Amino acid sequence: MAIIRIFHSKPTIGPKDTAGIVQVLKTNHLSQGEKVLEFENKISQYCNVKGAVAVNSGTSALHLALLAMGIGRGDEVIIPSYVCSALLNPIFYAGAVPRIVDVNFEDFNISPVEAKKQITKKTKAIIVPHLFGYPADVKELLRLGVPVIEDCAQSLGARYQGKKAGSLGLLSICSFYATKVLTTGEGGMVLSNQFKLLDKIRDLREYDNISAYKVRYNYKMTDIQAMLGLSQFSQLKYFLARRKEIAQVYDSALENFQITTPHKEPDRDHIYYRYVVKIKKGRREVWQRLKNRGIESVSPVFKPLHRYFDKNKCPVSDELMKRCLSIPIYPSLTDIQIQYIINSLEK
């Protein structure tokens, strides 16, 4: 029987978050309003971009980003295979075609070499997730001459060559889902230095009280969500510091195990949204033994995207599926729980 139960991921919600939501409820203004605008300003300033538009999910954010760029039927969008399937949906919503490419074995991120091979006259964008909180090689991807959309769903606060993730692409998107770096329950945001693109996104975000009709979307964020986001944002510095602190403990403890710990380079700042290890043999057995001891660990990607279509060969993504395991890392994880996880891995 398990001694304790440790979840793989868990939101960090405290009295300050609860008090903020109650404050909004007392105003009787629950939908999109001043708190949404304030949240947009906070995140855009933090990411060093000129503006932002808050929406109801990361998927909505990416959908509107594609539409604002004029991407539609027959256009192609390059994406990595080793990533959540949510990346596919906005591309199909827009009527475009995903071009799925392989990733780097070391850092899990989209390979600039493989992306270059897939560029055609129809290529309109490359979506670049900074996977698990570690920045992709944006500089090399920008050199390909195709507009880059940064996916910062897992990387808010990370840095690449001294610049914040989200400040490098033509557009960037965030997700504030329940277990993300900071949460609004559900929610997302589009960021950019291009006001024309942001204006298009605002126009598409809501449909009411507009004289000229065209297809628009009910993608608004509420002030309730935004207030939670503001409260969470005020704690972001601590959230990131705690994640790095836990990662350092894991790094030190696991260095002598038959496990490859997360890749790092001097010009990139890892925020450890996930702590993903590579296990050469016996990953399933490790997962089962952790489970038996009450520790939830998961395959960090459910299924590589190329496997849904059986069209592309992405051998690196396939190999990562065999080896990778994500172990718990989040701010509310206690020192006792961390040591229990380490002891369980050692056993």
- Does 303 lie in the same domain as 196? no
What is the crossing angle of helices 195-205 and 58-68, to 10°?
120
Lowest mean pLDDT among 81-85, 86-90, 120-124, 204-208: 204-208
Domain boundary residue, one of 204, 233, 262: 233
- Does 263 lie in the same domain as 148? no
Q: Say whether pLDDT at 94 is over 70.
A: yes
pLDDT band with cut points at 50, 70 and 90 for residue 33: very high
Q: What is the CATH number of the domain that holds 92?
A: 3.40.640.10
Query: What 3-state class would DSSP assign to 23?
Result: helix
Strand ranges (E), 222-290: 268-269, 275-278
Q: Say whether pLDDT at 128 is over 60.
A: yes
- CA 139 remoteness from chain centre: 19
Q: Which residues are 276's β-sheet partners?
A: 326
What is the crossing angle of helices 223-233 and 34-46, to 10°?
40
- Does 134 lie in the same domain as 78? yes
- Does 193 lie in the same domain as 60? yes
Is residue 6 situated within a structural domain? no
Q: Which domain holds residue 70?
A: 15-233
Mean pLDDT of 61-90: 97
Is residue 10 situated within a structural domain? no
| pTM, two decimal places | 0.96
Mean pLDDT of 303-316: 89
Structurally, the chain folds into a number of domains equal to 2
Express as a percent the part of the chain with pLDDT over 70: 99
Taking a C-beta distance cutoff of 8 angstroms, is the pair 156, 177 a contact? no
Beta carbons within 10 angstroms of residue 127's beta carbon: 24
Residues in contact with 135: Cβ distance below 8 Å, sequence separation at least 6, in sequence order: 109, 155, 158, 159, 160, 165, 268, 269
Mean per-residue pLDDT of the chain: 96
pLDDT in tens, 44-56: 999 999 999 999 9
pLDDT of 207: 86
The DSSP secondary-structure symbol of 186 reads: S
Q: Say whether pLDDT at 2 is over 80.
A: no
Taking a C-beta distance cutoff of 8 angstroms, is the pair 272, 133 a contact? yes
Is residue 5 situated within a structural domain? no
pLDDT of 3: 60
pLDDT in tens, 216-265: 999 999 999 999 999 999 999 999 999 999 999 999 999 888 899 999 99
Taking a C-beta distance cutoff of 8 angstroms, is the pair 201, 190 a contact? yes
pLDDT of 1: 46
pLDDT in tens, 280-305: 999 999 999 999 999 999 999 999 99
Query: What 3-state class would DSSP assign to 273?
Result: coil
pLDDT of 222: 97
- Does 225 lie in the same domain as 242? no
